[in-house]
């Protein structure tokens, strides 16, 4: 993309205004808008040309080997424009190894393809960071029980208190003015042996 002298002056004024903000005249604003429209149109035109070039390259590739000269010329123009050679281009160039230009273009495309693969792998490595590979063995560690945790939260079974032996109830002292309860021996006195009359004792 090339700018004319007038477009470069407009671009310079726009950059100066971006670095040192100041009110612009209406004419300067219109020049900046026209320059932006021109840049957008150039970008769109470049996209259209690239699409046309790739479609033309595919047609010449399908017509090989009769279209070898045209294919090699188009491929070199595409490479100069930043085209990344595809696997089908490498396969087509291998059939043109006997052509001196074809052999040179094949070496160039192989180098570009190798750089592209390395760049993609490097990008993946940067995205993954320091993530360890899944197949790496992890060191075995012996687990030890630590204080606390779930076992500490579980309530321990409470021990039942030992039951004291039952003691016989002690007789309560009678309250003043209250008759004491008689004992069984007092209610039913023990029977005494009958004493023989004195006559039997004298006869014996």
pLDDT one-digit tens code per residue, 112-146: 989 988 888 888 777 665 454 455 444 554 444 44
pLDDT the model gives residue 119: 87
pLDDT the model gives residue 21: 84
Question: What is the arithmetic mean of pLDDT over 21-37?
Answer: 85
pLDDT the model gives residue 81: 84
pLDDT the model gives residue 106: 92
Distance CA 84, CA 79 (A): 7
Distance CA 88, CA 203 (A): 159
**pLDDT reading at 100 higher than 50:** yes
How much is the pTM?
0.46
pLDDT the model gives residue 121: 87
The model's confidence at residue 98, banded by pLDDT at 50, 70 and 90, is confident
The model's confidence at residue 104, banded by pLDDT at 50, 70 and 90, is very high
Contact by Cβ (8 Å): 84, 120: no
Contact by Cβ (8 Å): 58, 48: no
Contact by Cβ (8 Å): 92, 67: no
**pLDDT reading at 168 higher than 60:** no
Average pLDDT score over the chain: 75
pLDDT the model gives residue 163: 61
């Amino acid at each position: 993309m090339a700018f004319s002298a007038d477009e470069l002056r407009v671009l310079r004024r726009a950059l100066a205004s971006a670095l040192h903000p100041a009110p612009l005249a209406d004419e300067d604003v219109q020049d900046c808008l026209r320059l932006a429209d021109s840049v957008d149109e150039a970008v769109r035109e470049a996209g259209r040309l690239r699409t046309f070039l790739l479609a033309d390259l595919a047609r010449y590739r399908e017509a090989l080997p009769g279209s070898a000269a045209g294919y090699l010329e188009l491929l070199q123009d595409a490479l100069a424009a930043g085209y990344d050679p595809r696997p089908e281009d490498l396969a087509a160039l291998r059939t043109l190894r006997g052509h001196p230009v074809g052999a040179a273009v094949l070496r160039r495309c192989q180098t570009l393809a190798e750089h592209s693969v390395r760049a993609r792998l490097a990008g993946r490595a940067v995205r993954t960071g320091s993530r360890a590979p899944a197949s790496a063995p992890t060191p075995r560690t012996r687990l030890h029980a630590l204080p606390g945790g779930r076992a500490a939260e579980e309530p321990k079974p409470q021990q039942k208190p030992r039951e004291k032996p039952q003691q016989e109830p002690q007789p309560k002292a009678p309250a003043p003015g209250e008759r004491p309860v008689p004992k069984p021996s007092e209610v039913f006195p023990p029977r005494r042996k009958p004493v023989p009359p004195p006559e039997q004792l004298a006869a014996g």
